[in-house]
Amino acid sequence: MRTITIFLSITLSQYLVAGIKEKTYNRYGLTCNEIESYCNVTQISTHDRKPIFGIRDMLAISSGKGGVGKSTISANIAVALGNIGLKVGLMDTDIYGPNIPGILGSHDRPVTNPDTGQIKPIEAHNIKFISMGLLLEEGSPVIWRGPMLAKMINQFLSNVEWGELDILIADLPPGTGDVQLTLTQSAPLTSALILTTPSAIALEDVRRGVEMFRQAEVPILGLVENMSSFRCDACNHNEYLFGHGQSKSTAEELEIPFLCDIPIDIKLRECADNGQPAVFSQPTTAGSEAIINLAKIVIACLEEK
């Protein structure tokens, strides 16, 4: 086990300038104060697994409870990071319910490189991705058990021609089952993002997710609350449908950073259903803006660690 220290994300010179100018922006447009508050894990233990050659960071997007928006947000974060010029890969590890091809609107069948025997990932919206959904006939179910799932995840990691990537994002299935255990125990994850909705039931499952990553010594980037509120277009009233404030207090209790909340946004759902990620086709809608900002927080924290 190796212990690493995550430094506050400001250099000494930035710090001195910040004192004078109040706000200094990093290259993603975040202020020093913002980065300091998001990336506030000062000491974390981390596994010592060998990284995959050419891949700088690998981020898992996880939740204890199903249906909280992991796939939608993974795909949109990936496309948002691709849009700001990063090399991004997205791995759909939901073998039983692969949704990424639908959200990205691409169902091309991957081919094998005859020279290397490796699978070529599909390219869409400026990112590379792979999914079990691309390897199956549409609508046919997967009926594998644990060892086969683990084998497929390892194939996605080591037998896909990812090339050089700044970040490989893994969209996880819900909970703490076989896929999650394979990934957290053997993939070179550099960080995990945990997603929740504000309801008490979803938050109860956050604890289990946090514990899983802690046991596997995967650093936790923080907690994100999705579907936090709904603004009515007719009267501009903002309603916290599932309650307000609990995610932040759960994050504090579990000693992980609370990164941001993302509102319920009909456009996010419509775009996902139409295979056009909202950050690409509706970038100024409230949900897209929240996700674009989250993508910047994620990459800034990873680059500063």
Ligand X SMILES: Nc1ncnc2c1ncn2[C@@H]1O[C@H](COP(=O)(O)OP(=O)(O)OP(=O)(O)O)[C@@H](O)[C@H]1O
In the complex, the residues that contact Zn ion under the rule CB under 5 A are 232, 234-235, 237
DSSP H or E stretch at residue 272: helix 266-273
Q: Out of Mg ion, Zn ion, ligand X, none, which partner does residue 262 contact, by CB within 5 to 8 A per kind?
A: ligand X
Q: Does 296 bind ligand X (CB under 6 A)?
A: no
- C-beta of 76 vs 99, nearer to Mg ion: 99
Distance of CA 145 to the CA centre of its chain: 25
Structure tokens at 156: 């996605």
Q: CA-CA distance, 60 to 148, in Å (whole number)? A: 20
Tell whether residue 58 is a contact of ligand X (CB under 6 A): no
Check residue 282 for interaction with ligand X (CB under 6 A): no
Compare residues 143 and 235 and give the one whose CB is closer to Zn ion.
235
Residues contributing to the site for Mg ion (CB under 5 A)? 70-71, 99
Separation of alpha carbons 195 and 202, rounded Å: 9
**CB closer to Zn ion out of 111 and 235:** 235
Partner touching 12 among Mg ion, ligand X, Zn ion, none, CB below 5 to 8 Å by kind: none
Which residue lies nearer to ligand X by CB, 67 or 146? Answer: 67
User: Does residue number 286 form part of the binding site for ligand X (CB under 6 A)?
Assistant: no
**Binding to ligand X by residue 66, rule CB under 6 A?**
yes
Which partner, Zn ion, Mg ion, ligand X, none, binds residue 174 by CB below 5 to 8 Å per kind? ligand X
Sequence-distant (6+) residues with CB within 8 A of 188 are 49, 50, 51, 52, 55, 58
Q: How far is the CB of 227 from Zn ion (least distance, A)?
A: 18
Q: Which stretch binds ligand X (CB under 6 A): 28-36, 62-70, 108-116, 244-252?
A: 62-70
Q: Which stretch binds ligand X (CB under 6 A): 48-56, 204-212, 236-244, 268-276?
A: 268-276
* 63 counts as binding ligand X under rule CB under 6 A: yes
3-state secondary structure of 90: strand
Count of CB atoms situated within 10 Å of the CB of 23: 10
DSSP class of residue 215 equals H
Long-range contacts at 26-35 (CB < 8 A, ≥ 24 apart): 26/300, 28/84, 28/296, 28/299, 28/300, 29/296, 30/296, 30/297, 30/300, 34/297, 35/8, 35/9, 35/10, 35/297, 35/300, 35/301, 35/304
Smallest distance, Å, CB 129 to ligand X?
15
Is the Cβ of residue 39 or residue 77 nearer to Mg ion in the bound state? 77
Lay out the site mask for ligand X across 211-240 (x = CB under 6 A, - = otherwise): ---------------xx-------------
Tokens 């996902």 identify what position?
A: 272
- In degrees, rounded to 5, the angle at the alpha carbon of residue 100 between the alpha carbons of residues 97 and 104 is 150
How many residues sit in the footprint of ligand X (CB under 6 A)? 22
CB of 95 closer than 8 Å to CB of 130 = no
